[in-house]
Amino acid sequence: MPDLKLTSVLNMSGDFSCIRRTIAALQAQTAREHLELIIVALRQFAGTIDTSRLACFGAYQIVEVDALPSGASGWAEGFRRARSPVVVISEDHGFPSANWAETLIAAHAHPDDYFAVSPALENANPQTRTSWANYTLSFINFFAPSAPQLVEFGPGHNTSYKREPLLADYGDRLDHWINPERVLHSDLIARGKKILLDSRTSVAHVNISKPMAYLGMSYAGGRLFGASRAEKWGFGRKLFYAAASPLVPFVRLKRLMRYYDTPAKRKQGCLLRTLPLIYIGLILHATGEAVGYLAGAGEIMRLYVDYELRRFEHVIPSERAILMEVATA
């Protein structure tokens, strides 16, 4: 039996070509012999998987499902089937650096007993302002951290967890809790758990670069967050937070700017040229939050799933090669 220490759960919403780039990054892991890969594939595409690409891992599983109503539904199913003590969410548009698995494994073995460990996040398609705006709204907290540090939340869809306690506390509704993960992380912190942002490794993340898709995802993400956050609130509290939502873009913009803390980061992120798009995205996210507080998620998950699981369609044509590149590992 292989010595499995980390399980990566990866959704496959199309044929195998949509995850080849991520598979290549996982093949390059220095600790791949300790890595289990679980591919949660739509049944009609499962036959396209090139299993010869998976033989290098400590173990692998292919889980066939009839539908992926959300990314979280697939990840949660993978978490339940994992055979490693640590599980990590992977994406078809996120490419881990070679020391990623090794670093996450070591961090989870640390005496401080971190419940969750996250890598830093890099912008894998940094050529457009829209990509940087999407990255800023979603991942700026994880942009080139100077050292490993405790954080209040990790990057959505890129965080690792201790499997047994996660399933013990959230197993029946795990798909709900990890969609969005920010709500899960708030609950973990409230329970006294520790979340580590480990600067020693990173994931290169492909961000939405089509302007209309960026605006749509900003609203959809806000509505899902608001609906999930307010699930157990009374109407008075929901109304108060919805009424305060016009202030949210100002507050969030101030917080986000703290992470552009060096001239090099501000230059790399094209900050001055990107600020208008960032602020528009914040307004739409806050609007979505307000609607989520008062009216719930509605059918917005369908739109959100399209943005998350079909990233190829939401980047400009010149960037599609980043997602479809086939490595020869």
Summarised one tens digit per residue, pLDDT across range 122-133 is 999 999 999 999
Which segment of 68-77, 127-136, 173-182 scores lowest on mean pLDDT?
173-182
pLDDT at residue 1 is higher than 90: no
With a pLDDT cut of 70, the percent of the chain lying above it is 98
Q: Are residues 26 and 124 in the same domain?
A: yes
Task: Say yes or no: 73 and 188 in one domain.
Answer: yes
User: Are 256 and 155 contained in the same domain?
Assistant: no
Report whether pLDDT(224) > 60.
yes
Query: What per-residue confidence (pLDDT) applies to 325?
Result: 64
Residues 224 and 197 in one domain: no
Residue 46 included in any domain: yes
Q: How confident is the model at residue 179 (pLDDT cuts 50, 70, 90)?
A: confident
Q: Band the pLDDT of 68: cuts 50, 70, 90.
A: very high
Range of the domain at 97: 6-131+144-205
AA identity, residue 299: E
In-domain check, residue 69: yes
Residues 125 and 222 in one domain: no
Is the same domain home to 177 and 309?
no
Report angle CA 67, 135, 151 to the nearest 5 degrees: 90
Give one DSSP letter per residue of 273-304, joined into a string. Answer: HHHHHHHHHHHHHHHHHHHHHHH--TTHHHHH
3-class SS of residue 308: helix
pLDDT, the chain, mean: 96
- Angle among Cα 320, 325, 328 to the nearest 5 degrees reads 180
Amino acid at 300: I
Instruction: Tell me the CA distances in angstroms from 210 to 133, 215, 218, 267, 309, one per residue in order.
Output: 11, 9, 12, 21, 15
Count of structural domains within the chain = 2
160, 178, 205 - which closes a domain: 205
Indicate whether 310 belongs to any domain: yes
Taking Cα atoms as reference points, which of 297, 67, 94 lies closest to residue 180?
297
CA–CA dist 253, 297 (Å, integer) = 24
Q: Are residues 286 and 269 located together in one domain of the fold? A: yes
Establish if 137 belongs to a structural domain: no
Instruction: Tell me the CATH number at 110.
Output: 3.90.550.10
**Residue 238 domain-assigned (yes or no):** yes
Is the pLDDT assigned to residue 88 strictly greater than 60? yes
Q: Of 178, 205, 232, which marks where a domain is finished?
A: 205
Q: Reduced to 3 states, what is the DSSP secondary structure of residue 260?
A: coil
| 1 within some domain | no
- Residue 214 CB burial class (10 angstroms; 0-12, 13-18, ≥19): buried
Looking at the fold, whether 156 and 91 belong to one and the same domain comes out as: yes
In a domain, 139, yes or no: no
Residue 190 has pLDDT above 90, yes or no: yes
- CB-based contacts of 102, cutoff 8 Å, min separation 6: 29, 30, 31, 201
Q: Using the 3D structure, point to which of 170, 185, 205 is the last residue of a domain.
A: 205
Residue 158 lies in a domain: yes
> Are both 288 and 253 inside the same structural domain?
yes
Give me 58's structure tokens: 């400590």
Alpha-carbon span 75 to 91, nearest angstrom: 10
182 and 235 in a common domain:
no
Owner of token pair 């490794």: 201
The pTM of the full predicted model, rounded to 2 decimals, is 0.94
The predicted model gives 104-117 an average pLDDT of 97
309 and 163 in one domain? no
- 193 and 290 in a single domain? The answer is no
